[in-house]
Amino acid sequence: MRNFCLTLLLLNILAFAYQHWILGPDNRVAADYIDQDYQRLMLAAPAPTPAAELLSLRAPLDPDPLAVPESALLAYRCLRIGPFPQAADAEQIRAVLEGPDVVARRVSQEGQVWVGHWVQVTGQPDRASAEAARDALNAAGLPDAYIVPGAADFRVSLGVFRSLSSSRNSVNIATRLGFSTRITDRYQPGTTFWLLIRLPAARELGPGELRSDSDQILRVETLDCAQAEF
């Protein structure tokens, strides 16, 4: 019995010595930290999502009921037609063009107003010849003929006509008398009128649709439908 107790005591001494001298002390660590014998995993901050992806991830917004879809705009083209010397001339063309598939709106701006077709007799060598030409034209049925004042050459005005047919009548009378003539457009400062037109892209405007009583030559300019106000 004595030998058994000595043997047990010796084993305890050996175990104590092995733990403290061979294994080393048991260092305490904080409860929230446990050292691992493999590389620790670190939580990396997520990479920022590109703006394009964010837009694709967002729920689609309800479309604006008043907005015109881009696809619809592409199906149309817009034009600016003018200038018209009088509002009535623009309204005449608008009445012809406007319909179920065409929108037309009249606008105005300050500029050079077309007055009409100015018919003149040219090629007079001196004032005496111009006066003789004026008298002959007055006698032939053109009482408004007069010598153009301040002109560098000698010309006789036969009048300013809004209708091209009326101006050609004066030209025919002067031509029969042997005179040379020319027709130019006459302008003066004032208010001009334009039409803004929106029509289907495939629709073409016929020459008869742009003819007014004035017979004035009109300009047709292309507009951006997204910027035009209809």
pLDDT at 159 over 50: yes
Tokens standing for residue 137 = 């034209």
Compute the distance between CA of residue 187 and CA of residue 111 in angstroms, rounded to an integer.
10
pLDDT at 3: 61
The fold of 115-188 is Alpha-Beta Plaits (3.30.70)
pLDDT in tens, 49-80: 444 443 343 444 454 544 445 555 568 999 99
pLDDT in tens, 3-15: 665 666 666 666 5
| Burial (0-12, 13-18, 19+ Cβ within 10 Å), 229 | exposed
Compute the distance between CA of residue 10 and CA of residue 20 in angstroms, rounded to an integer.
16
215 dihedral zone (left: phi>0; alpha: psi -120 to 50; beta): left
Q: Do domains 70-113+190-223 and 115-188 have the same CATH topology?
A: yes
Please state which architecture CATH assigns to domain 70-113+190-223.
2-Layer Sandwich (3.30)
Read off the DSSP letter of residue 227: T
Which strands make up the sheet holding 146-147, listed edge to edge? 146-147, 154-161, 103-124, 180-200, 76-84, 219-223
Query: Looking up tokens 């590389």, which residue turns up?
Result: 39
Domain regions of the chain by residue span: 70-113+190-223, 115-188
For the entire predicted model, the pTM comes to 0.51
Backbone phi and psi for residue 48, each to the nearest 5 degrees, phi listed first: -60, 135
3 state DSSP class of 96:
helix
